[in-house]
Amino acid sequence: MSEKRQDYISWDEYFMGVAKLAGLRSKDPNSQVGSCIVSPDNKILSIGYNGFPRGCSDDVFPWSREGDELDTKYFYVTHSELNAILNYRGGSLEGSKIYVSLFPCNECSKAIIQSGIREIIYDSDKYGDTPAVIASRKMLDAAGVHYRRYIRSGRELKITV
């Protein structure tokens, strides 16, 4: 009898992989962020990446980081986590977890808390010492939303599309 495959990907690799794959859809030249929301029994409920709201053209709205505030992306871009929450049309996200390639900002943490997501698994924390992320952790701690850093397996996943 043939044995089962041994090199299948773990749940964490699978969901973080899906989050990162979604991030590849982002048009942001600097940070491509992806999110994947997962039910307590490991079903994918929703996916998102950072981009401008529907109707706000990627070719018209600005992608710059600096300059006049109104000419930077920050007023306009929807973060991957919020997009994943808003993309979900199935009812409640209560008790779910979110895999995200970058630690959530304060605004996304508000949405995460209020939508009932109970755990965050993040990869990069490159803005961890900014006020937005410090405020974010404050709220998550107060609300009892757990967060843990994704432990990279270092495995390269190769798919041909």
Ligand X SMILES: Nc1nc(=O)n([C@H]2C[C@H](O)[C@@H](COP(=O)(O)O)O2)cc1CO
Q: Does the protein bind ligand X through residue 77 (CB under 6 A)?
A: yes
- Residues 48-67 binding ligand X (CB under 6 A) are 50, 65
Q: Which is nearer to ligand X, 126 or 155 (CB)?
A: 126
| Catalytic position from the list 69, 81, 94, 107 | 81
**DSSP labels, the chain:** -PPPPS-PPPHHHHHHHHHHHHHTT---SS---EEEEE-TTS-EEEEEE-BPPTTS-TTTS---SSSSGGGSGGGTPBPHHHHHHHH--SS--TT-EEEEEE---HHHHHHHHHHT--EEEEEE-TTTTSHHHHHHHHHHHHHT-EEEE-----PPP----
Q: Does the protein bind ligand X through residue 138 (CB under 6 A)?
A: no
Amino acid at 115: S
- For residues 98 and 109, the answer to whether their CB atoms sit within 8 Å is no
Q: Which is nearer to ligand X, 10 or 58 (CB)?
A: 58
Amino acid at 143: A
Is residue 107 annotated as part of the catalytic site, yes or no?
no
Binding part of the chain for ligand X, among 9-17, 39-47, 71-79, 146-154 by CB under 6 A, reads 71-79
Q: Does the protein bind ligand X through residue 115 (CB under 6 A)?
A: no
Residue 24: CB minimum distance to ligand X, A: 13
Binding part of the chain for ligand X, among 104-112, 113-121, 138-146, 151-159 by CB under 6 A, reads 104-112
Residue 107: CB minimum distance to Zn ion, A: 5
Active site residues: 81
Chain positions contacting ligand X, by CB under 6 A: 28, 30-31, 33, 50, 65, 73, 77, 79-81, 102-105, 108, 127
